[in-house]
Amino acid sequence: MNGVQVSTTVNGDVEEFVCHPGETLLEVLRNRLGLTGAKEGCGTGDCGACSVIVDGQLVCSCLVLGAEVEGRKVATVEGLADGNRLHPLQDKFLEHAALQCGICTPGFLVAAKALLDDNPDPTEEEIRYALAGNLCRCTGYDKIVRAVDAAAAELRKSSKKKASGRKK
Amino acid sequence: MAAHDVMPDIELFQPVTVEDASAIARRLEGRGWVLAGGQDTYGWLKDRAKTATAMIDLGTIEALSGIEETADGVRIGAMTTLRTVSRDPLIRERYALLAEAAGKVASPQIRNQGTLGGNVAQDTRCWYYRRGLSCYRAGGNICYADSPEGMNREHAILGASRCVAVSPSDTGTALVALDAVMVIQNGGSVRRVPAAKFFVGPAVNITHMTVLREGDILTAIELPAAWAGAEHYFEKVADRDVWDFALVSIAAAFRTSGNAIEDARLVCGAVSCVPHRLNAVERAVIGRPRSEETAESVAGLASQGAKPLNFNHFKAPLMENLVKRALRS
């Protein structure tokens, strides 16, 4: 094999790996780095189960090469929680029962994270638009949309607290 | 046939200049595949429906990304992502037609990685062809879509010649409507091709959808000032609002004086192998206002000459209705 040496950052940690030239980022994450949160649903970009964030942009990791993330920053669902403390999105997904089988959940969480990083106060329409590249065959989406809405409210509350805390 | 998910063993070149990319492509001849965002490419390679043995990644050429103002309009690097095109303030202000079209491509994930150059250079979605069958477009001597049992709801009603596949590009229609110019470099030489001539129908070349050939690198798309700030209309009709290709789309630009249309471009997508310019409609609306009356009187011209297949008769009235919606303002 013709190996490609790649140096990148995954969830804040520097990672170096050698991969096949045609190996997808999804394969690298799952098979080389042991990060199995991103799932392969379709392999063609339809389902979004493999969603990760590269340099702040939500992408399907099945449609990005491992070699393409050289020098870039990758964020996956594994980086969402802070140690044992779940991210508000994860809390609200649980609270709102926004998952059933769970296969699509990592992709939805990451897509929702990308949305809220970009737009902390989205309308329902904006939430639905931002999650449109992710398929769920169990929930019917409504609970997911409500969970993201609730997490956004929670995050706004805590960032306000932080801001007023700084003033003192 | 492989199952959509495993890439083949393949080489990867990551040049940093257009000259190098072009030289590698020429050296590899048919074995090389020029890679933009990869959102069309990886599907072809995973399915083994195309047999490239090396990819030439344009992602490492910095000069190919970005949007800049020029003396005569705006120049968009071919590797600029669809997300950037859809959100860029300059494009939204002056060429909102293109911003809207780019924002309607596929899904957020795909717009973040997919590029404007890749969107216009992508291959057709005809599933017989994409399945790797030996059809006309693949060098064979049959069209599976245009057969008594062929599933051709999504296929062409205009401009077909043996092959009935359509151009899937949402931005292609907008670029033709805006008289965009495609800048193509091969080695040290650069040629500039009007968007309307960039796309190629099967009567001209049945195995290529664009004028791009070995060693050609689409480097930029130029939008002339002539259509900046024009009135516009874009609509894409698809079975699903997201991650779906158009059944029919329309991109229209109008320059008006007082109430009257002075110049117009109306281009339909997904009805032909190329973005289909509605010349007769364009001529008929000159001097008339954008109104219900104008819409009703010219819409019938839109689908003139259409030859529907078994399952896509609906496309003709859909074209006419989209023309009406574009003209109602």
Q: What is the mean pLDDT of chain B?
A: 96
Q: Say whether residue B14 is in contact with chain A using an 8 A CB cutoff.
A: yes
Using an 8 Å Cβ cutoff, are A40 and A62 in contact? yes
Neighbour count for residue A140 (Cβ, 10 Å): 10
Look up the CATH number of the domain holding residue B36: 3.30.43.10
| Cβ contact A63–B55 (<8 Å) | no
B1 has pLDDT over 60: no
What chain A residue is nearest to B58 in terms of C-alpha separation?
A68
For residues B67 and B36, state if they share a domain: no
Look up the CATH number of the domain holding residue B96: 3.30.465.10
Q: What is the pLDDT of residues B186-222, one digit of tens each?
A: 999 999 999 999 999 999 999 999 999 999 999 999 9
67-96 of B, contacting A, C-beta below 8 A: 81, 83
Burial code of B9-24, b = ≥16 C-beta within 10 A, e = fewer? ebbbbbbeebebbbbb
For residues B275 and B311, state if they share a domain: yes
Neighbour count for residue A15 (Cβ, 10 Å): 17
Neighbour count for residue A9 (Cβ, 10 Å): 15
Range of the domain at B278: 62-122+164-328
Residue B140 lies in a domain: no
Q: Give the per-residue pLDDT at A1.
A: 55
Residue B128 lies in a domain: no
Residue B157 lies in a domain: no
Nearest to B64 by CA among B15, B110, B111: B15
Find the mean pLDDT for residues B306-327: 98
Q: What is the ipTM of this complex?
A: 0.95
Q: Give the per-residue pLDDT at B243.
A: 87
Nearest to B7 among A2, A23, A42 (CB): A23
Q: What span, in angstroms and rounded, lies between the C-alpha atoms of A159 and B52?
A: 50
Q: Say whether residue B113 is in contact with chain A using an 8 A CB cutoff.
A: yes
B263 has pLDDT over 70: yes
Q: What is the pLDDT of residues B151-180, one digit of tens each?
A: 999 999 999 999 999 999 999 999 999 999
CA distance to partner chain A, nearest, from residue B51 (Å): 13
Using an 8 Å Cβ cutoff, are B255 and B230 in contact? yes
Burial code of B153-188, b = ≥16 C-beta within 10 A, e = fewer? ebbbbbbbeebbbbbbbbbbbbbbbbbbbbbbbbee
Residue B137 lies in a domain: no
For residues B16 and B118, state if they share a domain: no
Residue B233 lies in a domain: yes
What is the pLDDT tens value at each position of chain A, 168 positions in all?
579 999 999 999 999 999 999 999 999 999 999 999 999 999 999 999 999 999 999 999 999 999 999 999 999 999 999 999 999 999 999 999 999 999 999 999 999 999 999 999 999 999 999 999 999 999 889 999 999 999 999 999 999 888 886 654
Helix (H, G, I), strand (E, B) or coil at B234: strand
| Cβ contact B10–A22 (<8 Å) | yes
Q: Which domains does chain A have, with CATH numbers?
A: 4-79 (3.10.20.30), 88-161 (1.10.150.120)
Domain boundary among B60, B83, B98: B60
What chain B residue is nearest to A115 in terms of C-alpha separation?
B108
Residue B134 lies in a domain: no
For residues B239 and B281, state if they share a domain: yes
Find the mean pLDDT for residues B30-58: 95
Nearest to A44 among B4, B7, B241 (CB): B4
Give chain A positions within 8 Å (CB) of B236: none
Give chain A positions within 8 Å (CB) of B241: 132
Region of residue A55 (phi > 0: left; psi between -120 and 50: alpha; otherwise: beta): left
Q: Give the per-residue pLDDT at A164.
A: 80
Q: Give the per-residue pLDDT at B4.
A: 64
Q: Give the per-residue pLDDT at B241.
A: 87
Nearest to B108 among A23, A58, A64 (CB): A58
For residues B170 and B230, state if they share a domain: yes
B284 DSSP assignment: H
For residues B203 and B241, state if they share a domain: yes
Nearest to A133 among B45, B57, B243 (CB): B243
For residues B19 and B102, state if they share a domain: no
Q: Give the per-residue pLDDT at A140.
A: 87
Q: Give the per-residue pLDDT at A28.
A: 98
Using an 8 Å Cβ cutoff, are B6 and B50 in contact? no
Nearest to A46 among B10, B45, B243 (CB): B243
DSSP string, chain A: ---EEEEEEETTEEEEEEE-TT-BHHHIIIIIS----S--S-SSSSS-TTEEEETTEEEEGGGSBGGGGTT-EEE-GGGTSBTTBPPHHHHHHHHTT--SS-SSHHHHHHHHHHHHHH-SS--HHHHHHHTTT---SSS-SHHHHHHHHHHHHHHHHHHHHHHHHHH-
Q: What is the pLDDT of residues B180-194, one digit of tens each?
A: 999 999 999 999 999
B227 has pLDDT over 60: yes
B3 has pLDDT over 70: no
| Cβ contact B109–A65 (<8 Å) | no
Residue B85 lies in a domain: yes
Using an 8 Å Cβ cutoff, are B323 and B282 in contact? no
Q: How many structural domains does chain B have?
A: 2
In chain B, % of residues over pLDDT 70: 98
Using an 8 Å Cβ cutoff, are B238 and B245 in contact? yes
Using an 8 Å Cβ cutoff, are B286 and B254 in contact? no
Region of residue A45 (phi > 0: left; psi between -120 and 50: alpha; otherwise: beta): left
| Cβ contact A22–B7 (<8 Å) | yes
240-269 of B, contacting A, C-beta below 8 A: 241-243
B109 has pLDDT over 70: yes
CB pairs under 8 A between A and B: 91
